[in-house]
Amino acid sequence: MGLIQDNDYDGFDWDEGNRSKNFRKHGITDAEIEQVLLNDPYFTSEDEKHSSEEPRVRILGKTDAGKLVFAVYTIRGNLVRDIHARAMNREERKQYDEAIKGNS
C-alpha cells in the first residue's frame, strides 16, 4: 500500500445507476467519495482479484468530517469512476493507521 500525493485525474465520472447506491447501502455520499481522493493521507493498492476487465484500485482514506472510508474505483480516460464505497472495517482501519505511522 503506497502513499499517493498527486491526483492523476481530472474529475469524476458518475454512473447514474450507481450514484445513490453507496449512500442507500452504506451511508457514503458522492461528495464523501470525492473527499477521500482529495484528502491526505490516503493509501491505495491494486484490486487484482477484480481487475480482469479493467484495472481497479482500492483506497483507504477519510472525508472532511474524518469518516474513514474504503472505496474501489477505476480510471476511465482521466476521470475517476466509483465502483463501491463503505466505511472501513476493523482490519482496514488498522491498515490505515499503520500506513499513516509508517509514512510519517
Share of the chain above pLDDT 90, in %: 43
**What pTM was computed for the model?**
0.85
- At residue 57, what are phi and psi to the nearest 5 degrees? -125, 135
- Pairing mode, if any, of strands 57-62 and 11-12? unpaired
Q: What is the pLDDT of residues 10-52, one digit of tens each?
A: 888 888 777 788 888 999 999 999 999 889 899 998 887 766 7
d(CA 95, CA 43): 9
